């Protein structure tokens, strides 16, 4: 079984400060890891993914995430937060399982950037 945990329901960061949204996962095998963002009354929007290769992945809007196999983590980071980054962030994990492949999403972390 695969699972993902987002330990913080809410993260508050001052504008201009670096931000981190945490994610840990549990899978049997090599994971595929994703971050999505959801703005109010909108669907989820893809930010970035780790499939293989470089552990540091760069994505949209200046976000990046680092895959850490030993700690089974995939934390989302940004060097300087913007007020417009305020949204709900979801981490998701999947594995290659020929014939039946699906993502498991975390419960989400609400990020609030304080002006």
Partner 1 sequence: DAGVIQSPRHEVTEMGQEVTLRCKPISGHNSLFWYRQTMMRGLELLIYFNNNVPIDDSGMPEDRFSAKMPNASFSTLKIQPSEPRDSAVYFCASSFGTTVSYEQYFGPGTRLTVT
Residues near partner 1, by CB under 8 A: 32, 34, 36, 41-46, 49, 51, 90, 94-97, 99-108
Q: Which is nearer to partner 1, 15 or 110 (CB)?
A: 110
Q: Cα–Cα distance between 8 and 94 in angstroms, integer?
A: 21
Q: Give least dist CB 45 to partner 1, A.
A: 7
Q: Give least dist CB 50 to partner 1, A.
A: 10
Q: Give least dist CB 27 to partner 1, A.
A: 11
Q: Which is nearer to partner 1, 98 or 115 (CB)?
A: 98
Q: Give least dist CB 113 to partner 1, A.
A: 22
Q: Which is nearer to partner 1, 82 or 95 (CB)?
A: 95
Q: Kindly report the three-state secondary structure assignment for every residue of the chain.
A: CCEEECCCCEEEEECCCCEEECCEEECCCCEEEEEEEECCCCCEEEEEEECCCCCEEECHHHCEEEEECCCCEEEEEECCCCHHHCEEEEEEEEECCCCCCCCEECCCEEEEEEC
Q: Which is nearer to partner 1, 11 or 44 (CB)?
A: 44
């Amino acid at each position: 079984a695969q699972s993902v945990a987002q330990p913080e329901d809410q993260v508050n960061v001052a504008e201009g400060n670096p931000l981190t949204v945490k994610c840990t996962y549990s899978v049997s095998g090599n994971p595929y890891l994703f971050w999505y963002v959801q703005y109010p009354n909108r669907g989820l929007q893809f930010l970035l993914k780790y499939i293989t290769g470089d552990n540091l992945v760069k994505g949209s809007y200046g976000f990046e995430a680092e895959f850490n196999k030993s700690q089974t983590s995939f934390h989302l980071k940004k060097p300087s937060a913007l007020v417009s980054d305020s949204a709900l962030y979801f981490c998701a994990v999947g594995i290659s399982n020929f014939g039946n492949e699906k993502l498991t999403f975390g419960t989400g972390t609400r990020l609030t950037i304080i002006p």
